[in-house]
Amino acid sequence: MQDFPLTITHILRHGQEIYSDSEVFTWQGDSARRASFGDVAARAGALARGLSGLGVGDSDRVATFCWNHQEHLEAYLAVPCMGAVLHTLNIRLFPAQLAYVIQHAEDKVVCFDASLAPVLSRAGKEALSKVEHFVQIGAGDTSALDEVTGRSPLLYDDICGGNVRDGEMSWPDLDERQAAAMCYTSGTTGEPKGVAYSHRSTFLHSLALLAACSTGLTEADRALVIVPMFHANAWGLPYGGWLAGTDLVMPREFLQAPHLARMFAELSPTLGAGVPTIWNDLLHYGETQTVDMSSVRALTAGGSAVPRALMEAYEERFGVPIIQAWGMTETSPLAAIAYPPRGTPPEEAMDWRAKTGRVVPGVEVRVVSEDGAVLACDGQSLGEFEIRGPWITAEYYKTPSDRFHDGWLKTGDVGTLDERGFMQIHDRSKDVIKSGGEWISSVDLENTIMGHPDVIEAGVIGVPDERWQERPLACVVLREGANVSGEDLASWLEPRVAKWWLPEHWVFVEALPKTSVGKFDKLTLRKRYAEGSL
């Protein structure tokens, strides 16, 4: 067989040539700006020429500090295909973490949204002075950034302008194993760690997204990409969608429910991808406002456990399935997706869909005990998931870690695996509640509590207990005007979970703290508890 290199350049060419009239929509607040794949590819070529002109060479890191939009997609295509490495910076990192990752990745160029200049400036002089060029996308006041960097940024349109040419761009030949992109973990459980994706891993992961047993992207689809492009490559949708000719709808900073509802109504996406908190917000908005999801065939959700109650509510209200998937920055991210196995009667489908997911073709997962023994795939034996495959990272960028051994990655997620490859995550190992020598799953408790009609959000942490070592504390956000107590919730919960799981501590809060990628921030909850402010 031919040894054809698996590169993003092929992905770029395929979308450009075969699906040149597929489109990218960028929401502008009250309507969408649109561009064909053919135009976007031409502009990606122009961007690559412009970046070369700035001295960007092989393996240099070009960072983005952007919302999801057309120019971000152009960078997704241009930077890897010119042989450089696209580093998608998380715009919601704390300033110190942002400074750390910019320096750790040694970003040479940062392309940023003008509206985010003040946020970027918070990375500080030390980190930003090492960046050679700043490239501004869109109009806006960048003075906060200019003050810190001591210069004005270049303009994206100037860099591309004049460089847009008709005809084929001659992209360089690349080694499929060279780095194409990098992304740092969001630091939910510590300092952000860098993951470098190769062309090969991205190519294979994109094909996996097209498989009918995963998201099954095709030219007939239009995907609303709510998950940020800095969060594990927007779950692979930009590359997968481009390869399949799927229209992409980019919401920019308009992530609030009223905007999303308009995007659904006016742009008729067939797919949407976002974390459960986004879908939860839209659900509550839909209680008083019209949300038209008649164009949607499925929504995907992941990043944290998807409450069953949320999936049921979507079926009931919008007639739309939410499909749960599991993955990590380290796994590109798609690794498991929850479709019921063959022969499942309709009334049992939700039992399967509420599980974390079924391992996708191409990756292997196992469950390992604390002493390293591989456990049975029986749906019962509880241990840490380990994973391997061609789109699973083999190391962290320049950061030694004991999470890699014998070709496997230790995920830090604890759960069970059954003989048919269905994973059920009980918890992150750091969040599991150890009570009287047994483990309580904070995720299960949260999901069950969120099934209560008056509860909007629930986050559960373990708090120290003299007798049991730890006991669960539930922080709950109630629906406006609801009048329920902790005791009411506990008695509602009693028939639904094991008796010894019942939280005896209930705290009502206005909102739960969230991490930079929209997960319940348990580090902050624990800190608040330790300080006595819960």
Task: List the catalytic residues.
Answer: 185, 330, 434, 439
Give min distance, CB of 336 to ligand ADP, in A.
Answer: 8
CA distance 494 to 286: 30
Give min distance, CB of 98 to ligand ADP, in A.
Answer: 14
Give min distance, CB of 519 to ligand ADP, in A.
Answer: 6
Kindly write down the DSSP assignment for every residue of 95-125, as one continuous string: HHHHHHHHHHHTEEEEEEEGGGHHHHHTTHH
Tally Cβ neighbours within 10 Å of residue 152: 12
Give min distance, CB of 360 to ligand ADP, in A.
Answer: 13
* Closer residue to ligand ADP (CB): 153 or 357: 357
Token pair recorded at residue 327: 């993955």
* Closer residue to ligand ADP (CB): 387 or 478: 387
Give min distance, CB of 466 to ligand ADP, in A.
Answer: 29
**C-alpha closest to that of 307 among 468, 154, 126, 457:** 457
Give min distance, CB of 269 to ligand ADP, in A.
Answer: 21
* Closer residue to ligand ADP (CB): 215 or 324: 324
CA distance 424 to 33: 41
* Closer residue to ligand ADP (CB): 80 or 327: 327
DSSP state of 259: H
Angle at 492 between CA 487 and CA 494, to 5 degrees: 90
* Closer residue to ligand ADP (CB): 6 or 474: 474
* Closer residue to ligand ADP (CB): 63 or 517: 517
In the chain, how long is the greatest CA-to-CA distance?
Answer: 74
CA distances to 57, 59, 131, 398, 461 from 104, in Å: 18, 14, 12, 8, 32
User: Looking up tokens 């049991």, which residue turns up?
Assistant: 468
Binding site for ligand ADP (CB under 6 A): 185-188, 232, 302-306, 324, 326, 328-329, 356, 411-413, 425, 428, 517
Backbone phi and psi for residue 250, each to the nearest 5 degrees, phi listed first:
-105, 120
Number of alpha carbons in the 13 Å side-chain half-sphere of residue 502? 15
**C-alpha closest to that of 99 among 225, 191, 235, 228:** 191
* Closer residue to ligand ADP (CB): 135 or 432: 432
Number of alpha carbons in the 13 Å side-chain half-sphere of residue 267? 30
Per this entry, what is the length of the chain? Answer: 534
Give min distance, CB of 129 to ligand ADP, in A.
Answer: 27
Give min distance, CB of 332 to ligand ADP, in A.
Answer: 10
Residues near 130 by beta carbon (within 8 Å), at least 6 away in sequence: 102, 103, 106, 107
CA distance 49 to 53: 6
Token pair recorded at residue 126: 């030390």
**C-alpha closest to that of 353 among 317, 309, 383, 318:** 309
* Closer residue to ligand ADP (CB): 312 or 454: 312
Give min distance, CB of 37 to ligand ADP, in A.
Answer: 28
Own/partner pairs for 114-118, CB < 8 Å, 24+ apart?
114/138, 114/139, 114/140, 114/141, 114/142, 115/140, 115/253, 116/65, 116/66, 116/67, 116/91, 117/141, 117/142, 117/143, 117/144, 117/145, 117/146, 118/144, 118/145
* Closer residue to ligand ADP (CB): 70 or 516: 516
Token pair recorded at residue 216: 């099954």
